[in-house]
Every structure is written in structure tokens, then in C-alpha cells.
Amino acid sequence: MVVQEKLLTVQEFDEFVMRPENANRLFEYVGGSIVEVVSNPYSSKIASRINGYIFEFIRKPTRQWA
């Protein structure tokens, strides 16, 4: 037996997110479903900076050590 999940509208999603019990949680609306975001903005910012430093290091031309 297959259980079909009810897809939500954007308005229903907004109402769900605004509930008091969800005040300190992050959610995304993905194709009619609610997905809780496990990361936080601070850790995402740190990861982006690290990726940027790695990208710049890789793009620099190699040095001649002779």
C-alpha cells in the first residue's frame, strides 16, 4: 500500500512556519513539501568562505621554485 503525502500550498507552508513551536527552526518549501533545514546560516557562511579560499588557491598559477 502506498501512502500519498498531501502537498501543501505556499500559504499553508507560511502558516506552518509562523506557528510558535516552529519559531527557532528553519524550514524550506520544496515541491509542496516541508523540509527542515539541518544547517544554520553561520555554519553555511563559514563553509562558503573556506570553499572560496580553496577556489582561489587552485586558480593561482603555480610558482617556479628554481
Which tops the pLDDT comparison, 54 or 66?
54
How many Å apart are CA 21 and CA 1, to the nearest integer? 32
| Interval 7-43: pLDDT, tens | 999 999 999 999 999 998 989 999 999 999 887 788 8
Which residues lie closer than 8 Å to 27 by C-beta, 6 or more apart? 13, 16, 17, 34, 35, 36, 37
| pLDDT at 64 > cutoff 70 | no
More reliable by pLDDT, 60 or 48: 48
Residue-level pLDDT at 63: 65
pLDDT at position 30 is 94
